[in-house]
Structures are given as structure tokens and as C-alpha cells.
Chain A
Amino acid sequence: MPTRDQIRKLLEQGHDYPAIARRLGMPSWIERWPVYRQLTGEDPLGRGAAAKSKHSTQLKARTETADKVVKSVCPFCAVGCGQNIYVKDEKVVQVEGDPDSPVSRGRLCPRGSSTMQLVTGSAREYQVLYRRPHGTEWERLPLDQAMDMIADRVIKTRREGWQWEAEGKRTRRTLGFASLGGATLDNEENYLIKKLFTALGAIQIENQARI
């Protein structure tokens, strides 16, 4: 167990408490007081230990009861803060900064701190929606059918916009369809998008990096 002097010295060097706990090999600050759970004794005013409710007694941090912690990266800006994703019963129950990250040291900004709401919140859509030409409302469409329809449209517009040549020079391309997006996606996704669309002859492939 580290001594108080050790801790004071690190404090003087400007380290914060969680960092000191990590540095001294203390998995958490609480372990300095192994008796902390042994809450006995009296509560003369009846507003401390004696007042602790059933709910409070059973309270357990969901970070503690999670089935697993998955290592991740914040999806907002490009600082690339480390995230820990806490999962219980195959659901995300908490998203927090990863203290191990040399980039972020466990911290997250307001956007990063909202990640839990981003990935589990009610704003997310989970159904394919379809608006037919000249339609006034969304309709439902099975995913498989949507994929099949999109593939047909790519093939058709690609062919219609095909140019073997432009201004007398070989171009082997289509102007029929375009794509915008990628800065929020994974490298692997960008790779497949560029590979597939280029093989289809599309050149108008762009993303936020231009904007």
C-alpha cells in the first residue's frame, strides 16, 4: 500500500488523484480503505448509516455490474479519445472515457459524453424508409428489397451515364451516380466504398474532407 508521503509528492508534482492511483498500482482509490464496507457502529443522528435505504444499500454502479467492457474510440471529432463501452445483456449500458488512452487520459467532451445517448437514444431509426417518386409520405420497405432496388438503380444509372470517352480521350467512367460521405466512417468502410464505386466507374466520390 503506498504511503501518504508518496501520494503527497505526486500531488505536488501536479498529478490528479485517479492518475496517482493508477501510477501507484492501486486499481482504485477505494482500496486504500479495505474496511470501508464494514459499516457498523452507531449513527447518533439517524441521518447517516441508519438512514440508508434498501435502494441505497443495493445500489451498484452499472460500470461494475457490466458483463464486459469493450475498447472503442469516440465517434465525434478527430482527436480520437479512447472510450470504454460497458455492455450488459447485449446492450450498451454506459460509455466512458478510457483512462489508458495517451490521447485523452479518460476524458471526454460534451459530445463524447453524449455517446451513450447517441447510440441508444430514441432519435435513432431502425427501419428502412422509402419515399416513392412524387410520394408524400414515407413507406416501409424490407431491407433486402431495398438493397435489391438500390442495386438495380446503380446498374441502370451507371449505364445511362457511361462515358467511354470525353473530348476524344478515353475516360471509361460514369457520371450517372455520385457519393458523399466517409469522414464519419471507418477506414475499412471508406476502402470498400472507394474500391466498389471506382470499379463501377464512378468518379464523383466525395466526403466532408472537401467541405
Chain B
Amino acid sequence: MAPVDIQIGRGPNLDGALLGDTDPATQGGYPDHPPRMGFFTDTSVCIGCKACEVACKTWNAIPEDGLVFTGMSMDNSQGLGASTWRHVAFIEQRKPVAAQDPGVVHDQNVLELAGNPTAPGTNGDFRWLMASDVCKHCTHAACLDVCPTGSLFRTEFGTVVVQEDICNGCGYCIPACPYGVIDQRKEDGRAWKCTLCYDRLSVGQEPACAKACPTDSIQFGPLDELRERADARLARLHEAGVADARLYGRDPQDGVGGDGAFFLLLDEPEVYGLPPDPVVTTRDLPSMWKHVTVAAATLVGGALAAFVAGRRL
């Protein structure tokens, strides 16, 4: 079954649902919903302690994810996956700590460096970037768009959550994610990712990672307030001469309609292992849907309603 077929069952009104700035909770059928909640991860104050990784695992009872020494600076978790929902990346760079200089080569291959001794006297400019990555809870979430079972759903907080009692492990969501976040757990075949602690949000508590974060690098709150906050922080950093600071995932007009979890970065997104220009993989759906709708209306109109009704069970 192709992902696009699944979308047919998702109802007729798609204005703003798949592209552009929109209110995902309203689109998700929550007319009287709380504000959209999200994360603002300010990597300029991250100390790479990994409290977020452990707090997340503790709260969500996530299994251990392999005992592997990677040699990737202090990162042995390697990336987000089914059993790692927060991941701290470490980037060692020969750049000054404060002022950024766009355009220089950012990536360093420590393996190569090992064979090429550093020239004496070049130790002054060096920095170690750390950034805690997480599911972006996209405004237009391809994982959700392609999920055939309704396991992935949009919550009243505008977040995107996999429901472990529904997921059948089909795996469509995995290639759909433009960030490579959602992943299947080998042990049970199901897809897992950050829920933005949906259970905690439902009782007015902040997500476990944000609560633990010692330096408030991970901030949680209503997305519009976080955006204001992030804009102010960015302005302060620019004033202070950190010209390379930028927000990532903050723009509602970007390829995923803005992220529910966005970031302040000190370098190009690629440096952190983030796609520079993520696009919802289902962006062509509206035109496809229109095309299909014609067919649906004439051929299978009744079946469509039955499918939607079935999902409510």
C-alpha cells in the first residue's frame, strides 16, 4: 500500500493542513485546545551532560540502546532512535568560542587529524559544540500523514505521538520523517519516538528532559512564547558578536511548517547532523489528494466514511 492511499481516508478539509503556517491541534480536531506546546533547545548553553537522555529514558522506561564506544567525541548514543529519544551531539571545532566566521570548513575528521599533527601554536581557537536533539513535532508531520493505523496522532498540544497499543510495526513512518527521527525497535518491531511526554503534559507537568536540564538549554512552554524567547536570545547573541548563531525549525514557513521543537544553533545545521532544509515528505499530498478526491467521490465515496469511522474505535 502506498502512503498516498492512506491519506485518502483522512477527511476532506485540508486547508493549511499539510503546508504552511497552521494550528495543528485545531486541524487535529481540538477546537478548544490548549496552546501548542514545544521545546526550544538553546544549544549555546548546553553543557553536554546528557541529563536529558537519562531523564527521558527513566520517565519513558526506554531500554538500554547498546554499549558501544564510538569515538565520536563524547557521544556514544550515536543518534536518535527507537530507544534514544533525546540525543546529545558533540562537535569539536577549531573555531573561536564566541565570534563565528561563516564560510570556513566546519567538519573535522579526528581520524585524519590523528595522522596529521597539529601545527604548534594553533590551539587558541577551539570550541566544543553540544546540542540535544529530539523529535521536531513538525507542524506538518509526514510520519503522521503516512501512518495507516492511526497509531501516530496529533495531540491537543499540537505534538505528534506514537500510540504503542495501535502501532503494528508497518514502518511507513520511518522513511517519511525528514529528520530521520522515528525508528523501529528491533525487539518488538514497533515504532518509537519522543512523545514530548504526552502523559506529563496531560497533567500539567513539563517533559522529563526539560525538567532535568541543568542549564535550561532545553526549554519547554507554549510554542509562541518560546519563539519570542528564542528571537530575543538570538538578538542578544548577535549583539554579542556571535554572528553565526541561528534558529533552526523556528520558521512557520519552512518546509515542515515550523517545528514544535526548534533550536538555536551556533553553526550550520549539517554540523550537528541536522538536514539544512527539511521538507515534509508528503508535501505533494494536497494536489494528489485533489486528484484522488475526484476519483473517490465518484467511485468509493461510501467506503471513505467507513474508514474514518473505523479509526475511532
**In the complex, is A directly touching B at CB under 8 Å?**
yes
Contact A46 B30 (CB under 8 A): no
Contact B153 A108 (CB under 8 A): no
Please, which residues of chain B bring their CB within 8 A of the CB of A16?
216, 219, 221
Which B33-82 residues sit within 8 Å CB-CB of chain A? Answer: 33-35, 49-51, 53-55, 58-59
> For B13, B147, B153, B308, which residue has the most chain A Cβ atoms within 10 angstroms?
B153
For B126-167 the 0/1 string (1 means CB < 8 A from A) is: 000000000000000000110100111111100001011110
Tell me, yes or no, whether A2 is within 8 Å of chain B by CB: no
A179 to B25, CA, bound (A): 62
Contact A50 B312 (CB under 8 A): yes
Closest to A30 in B: B204
Contact B203 A60 (CB under 8 A): yes
* Inter-chain contact total with CB atoms closer than 8 Å: 189
Please, which residues of chain A bring their CB within 8 A of the CB of B34?
30, 32-33, 36
Contact A113 B17 (CB under 8 A): no
- Selected contact of A61 from candidates B28, B161, B200, CB within 8 Å: B200
Tell me, yes or no, whether A196 is within 8 Å of chain B by CB: no
Query: What bracket does the count of chain A residues touching chain B fall in?
Result: 35 or more
Tell me, yes or no, whether A88 is within 8 Å of chain B by CB: no
Which B1-45 residues sit within 8 Å CB-CB of chain A? Answer: 9-14, 17, 24-25, 27-35
> For B35, B58, B311, which residue has the most chain A Cβ atoms within 10 angstroms?
B58
With A30-B34, A48-B155, A59-B202 already in contact, the answer to whether A96 and B28 are too (CB < 8 A) is no
Contact B28 A18 (CB under 8 A): no
Contact B229 A45 (CB under 8 A): no
Please, which residues of chain B bring their CB within 8 A of the CB of A41?
29-32
With A8-B228, A110-B53 already in contact, the answer to whether A47 and B164 are too (CB < 8 A) is no
Contact A43 B219 (CB under 8 A): no
A32 to B34, CA, bound (A): 8
A48 to B12, CA, bound (A): 14
With A46-B308, A55-B165, A60-B203 already in contact, the answer to whether A110 and B29 are too (CB < 8 A) is no
Tell me, yes or no, whether B225 is within 8 Å of chain A by CB: yes
User: How close is A102's CB to chain B, nearest CB, in angstroms?
Assistant: 15
> For A35, A60, A107, which residue has the most chain B Cβ atoms within 10 angstroms?
A107
Which A93-148 residues sit within 8 Å CB-CB of chain B? Answer: 94-97, 106-114, 116-117
A-B contact pairs, 13 of them (CB 8 A): A7-B225, A16-B219, A30-B34, A41-B31, A43-B28, A44-B13, A47-B10, A47-B147, A48-B25, A48-B155, A94-B58, A107-B51, A116-B58
Q: Which 8 A-B pairs have the closest CB atoms?
A: A48-B28, A43-B29, A30-B204, A28-B204, A17-B221, A51-B153, A41-B31, A55-B165
